[in-house]
């Protein structure tokens, strides 16, 4: 066979195999036998071995695997890969719908989808070819698992047709079918290996295997359910999913577009039992707003979109015996009671412990040592006790009394008014709180001192070298070297990591110091509003309440933090160590007080700036963003196709309506 003939035959075989793959995995309508398919693939592999110059990285032969990946590269997501808010209650779904209705004030559609119990994946395609596959990771960054994903036959390496965007991302869930899972476990048991815990864990573990040929043998599958990009063919989620089907993606047939929350409930009920007939695991239903524009209006919290929610079906239950209750102390001093259970098999894993959350839950369940209890896994992950079998209770059982003193430092516990939790107030003298604060302080989203993890902090604390977060910056290399597992290089890495952390910007330092109730988003808002720690420290409660999204509880928490002289001393020591306690010159160059005291609502699509960047500009110039129009609204910034109800309400209330150009004039 000549080189030209080989090239032509490889192209023919590639097209045939891709077509058969599509018919088998996407349409479930195979037209040839498995044997015939294998013969075509074998011929292709043989030709590519003989004529390697014609081997394409997108060839169907690459699905067989064989590449070894020693380390999975970390990749930043182009679009944050947030998780969804969860609920098990139809009442909470109704509340979600009420929030959507209030925020949009116009008609809207929902798209209902099954929630697949697997591993979230983001696939990027450029010019119709798979470029990259990245796991969720922490939502901002994930692992590049492209080599392994290429072995999954339901994921197209090249797209069909030509009406897809030049570059886009499609997200979905990689899962292990139950039949494959059962076969693997049967084989493992036969050779004496421990069985895999459950299909989800098996899929996650498989996806991170170094040898892609083993991944190929695990027969993972994938459903795709969300398209992202700049030039998508449609302005709605449902229509883009249908387009993705035409491009060759395996999109679930169970997706349904509905017009009301009542129809959502019908969808949920219709799948409650039917889902058990599917060949893979599902644990609920995902609800999404169909219109991208309405999704943009609803926006995001720090952790999840406001335009989507997951309803989870109640998990399978087991009964076991409560042997004892222990109490854990968190970094904020919160006391969490934990049930220690007689081991029981539940949803594929052995359960020995379950959180009892707080004193109210113990009271509500009237749970007692020796009780036979009902256990389930919330979302089939976290075990929880849902009830007590009173009929099996010992006649002489004693009512459970919540502890009155901290199990670690013996300080008397407090329970703030309006909160369900008990707290140990000894925040600077209680070991778990001290260590917990340091673990939070050094974490990736805070000061990002990679070589100073939980285990090392424990070691340094036990050695008496650190007692609070400020002590970290007093550490010397010679103090570290005598410690176990602390060689020259690791000690130097730790010192270098601590020094490097001094460059972390103010908003992350503010998050890192661990003021109760201050998350990443709130820390950023406070940093840009007050610009430095001294202004924040001297702010009154009334001034704090002027900041967007700061309520009574957060304002009180901030004032309480700075009233504590030990906290003030720690801040001063960190300042002297060189940490950033004010916005940088570069950040300050982009901030003003021009919009201070003004409240904005934005609506519609803008030509010169994205909605998110517009919101950022408002905050950087001292203004406040809100989602709905009221008498307190200063301006409605109106883009194209803005909501007619918002316009009507703004006119009725006499709110000034401005264009994006007029907004820029305000801040120039």
So which residues are the catalytic ones? Answer: 115
Query: How is residue 32 written in tokens?
Result: 């040839």
Exposure class string for 206-226: b at 16+ Cβ within 10 A, else e: bbebeebeebbebbbbbbbbb
Name, in order, each residue with C-beta under 8 angstroms of 212's C-beta and a sequence gap of 6 or more: 65, 66, 67, 68, 69, 147, 148, 150, 151
CA distance 413 to 421: 10
Rg (CA), the chain: 28
d(CA 249, CA 240): 11
Measured CA to CA, the distance from residue 483 to residue 420 in angstroms comes to 41
Are 84 and 304 in contact by the 8 Å Cβ rule? The answer is yes
d(CA 353, CA 323): 10
3-state secondary structure of 314: coil
Residues 6 or more apart in contact with residue 308 via CB below 8 angstroms: 84, 85, 286, 287, 288, 289
Nearest CA among 79, 108, 250, 257 for reference residue 175: 250
Cα 625 off chain centre by: 24
Q: Is the CB of residue 667 less than 8 Å from the CB of residue 591?
A: no
C-beta contacts of 126-132 below 8 A and 24+ residues apart: 126/166, 126/167, 127/166, 127/167, 128/158, 128/159, 128/162, 128/164, 128/247, 129/58, 129/157, 129/158, 129/159, 130/58, 130/155, 130/156, 130/157, 130/158, 132/75
CA distance 13 to 1: 15
Three-state secondary structure of 240-253: HHHHHHHCCCCCCC
- Pairwise CA distance, residues 355 & 567, whole Å: 31
Element containing residue 120 per DSSP (H, E): strand 119-126
Residue 47 tokens read as 């030709």
Quick one: CA dihedral 253, 155, 138, 329, positive or negative? positive
């Amino acid at each position: 066979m000549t080189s030209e003939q080989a090239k032509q035959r490889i192209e023919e075989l590639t097209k045939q195999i891709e077509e058969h793959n599509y018919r088998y995995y996407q349409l479930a309508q195979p037209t040839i036998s498995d044997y015939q398919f294998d013969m075509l693939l074998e011929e292709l592999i043989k030709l590519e071995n003989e004529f390697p110059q014609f081997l394409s990285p997108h060839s169907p032969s690459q699905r067989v695997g064989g590449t070894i990946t020693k380390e999975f590269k970390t990749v930043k997501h182009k679009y944050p890969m947030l998780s969804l808010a969860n609920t098990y209650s139809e009442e909470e779904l109704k509340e979600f719908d009420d929030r959507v209705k209030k925020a949009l004030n116009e008609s809207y559609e929902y798209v209902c989808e099954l929630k697949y119990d697997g591993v979230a994946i983001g696939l990027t395609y450029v010019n119709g070819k798979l470029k990259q596959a990245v796991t969720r990771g922490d939502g901002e960054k994930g692992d590049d698992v492209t080599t392994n994903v290429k072995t999954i036959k339901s994921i197209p390496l090249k797209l069909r047709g030509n009406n897809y965007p030049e570059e886009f991302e499609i997200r979905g869930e990689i899962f292990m079918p139950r039949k494959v899972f059962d076969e693997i476990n049967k084989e493992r048991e036969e050779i004496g290996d421990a069985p895999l815990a459950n299909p989800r864990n098996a899929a996650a573990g498989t996806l991170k295997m170094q040898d892609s040929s083993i991944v190929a043998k695990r027969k993972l599958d994938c459903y795709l359910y969300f398209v992202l990009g700049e030039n998508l063919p449609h302005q709605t989620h449902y229509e883009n999913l249908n387009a993705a089907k035409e491009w060759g993606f395996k999109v679930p047939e169970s997706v349904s577009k509905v017009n009301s929350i009542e129809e959502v409930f019908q969808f949920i009920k219709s799948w409650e039992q039917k889902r058990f007939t599917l060949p893979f695991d599902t644990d609920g239903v995902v609800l999404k707003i169909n219109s991208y524009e309405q999704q943009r209006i609803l926006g995001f919290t720090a952790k999840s979109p406001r335009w989507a929610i997951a309803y989870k079906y109640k998990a399978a239950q087991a009964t076991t015996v409560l042997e004892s209750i222990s109490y854990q102390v968190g970094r904020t001093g919160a006391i969490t009671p934990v049930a220690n259970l007689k081991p029981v098999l539940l949803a594929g894993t052995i359960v020995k412990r379950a959180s009892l959350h707080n004193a109210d839950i113990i009271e509500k369940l009237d749970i007692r040592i020796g009780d036979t209890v009902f256990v389930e896994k919330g979302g089939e992950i976290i075990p929880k006790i849902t009830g007590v079998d009173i009929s099996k209770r010992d006649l002489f059982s004693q009512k459970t009394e919540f502890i009155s003193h901290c199990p670690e430092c013996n300080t008397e516990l407090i329970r703030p008014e309006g909160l369900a939790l008990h707290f140990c107030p000894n925040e600077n003298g209680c070991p778990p709180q001290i260590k917990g604060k340091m673990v939070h302080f050094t974490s990736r989203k805070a000061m990002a001192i990679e070589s100073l993890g939980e285990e090392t902090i424990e070691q340094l604390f036990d050695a008496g070298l650190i007692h609070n977060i400020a002590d970290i910056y007093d550490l010397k290399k010679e103090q570290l070297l005598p410690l176990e597992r602390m060689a020259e290089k690791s000690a130097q890495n730790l010192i270098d990591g601590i020094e490097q952390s001094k460059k972390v910007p103010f908003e992350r330092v503010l998050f890192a110091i661990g003021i109760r109730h201050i998350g990443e988003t709130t820390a950023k808002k406070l940093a840009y509003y007050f610009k430095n720690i001294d202004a924040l420290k001297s702010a009154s409660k009334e001034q704090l309440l002027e900041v967007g999204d700061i309520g009574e509880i957060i304002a009180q928490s901030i004032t309480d933090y700075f009233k504590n002289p030990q906290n003030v001393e720690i801040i001063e020591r960190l300042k002297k160590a060189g940490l950033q306690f004010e916005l940088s010159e570069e950040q300050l160059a982009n901030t003003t007080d021009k919009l201070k005291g003004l409240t904005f609502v934005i609506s519609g699509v803008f030509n010169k700036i994205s909605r998110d960047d517009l919101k950022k500009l408002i905050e950087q110039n001292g203004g406040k963003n809100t989602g709905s129009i009221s008498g307190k609204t200063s301006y409605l910034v109106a883009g194209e196709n803005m909501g007619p109800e918002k316009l009507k309400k703004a006119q009725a209330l006499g709110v000034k309506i401005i264009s994006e150009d007029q907004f820029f004039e305000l801040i120039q």
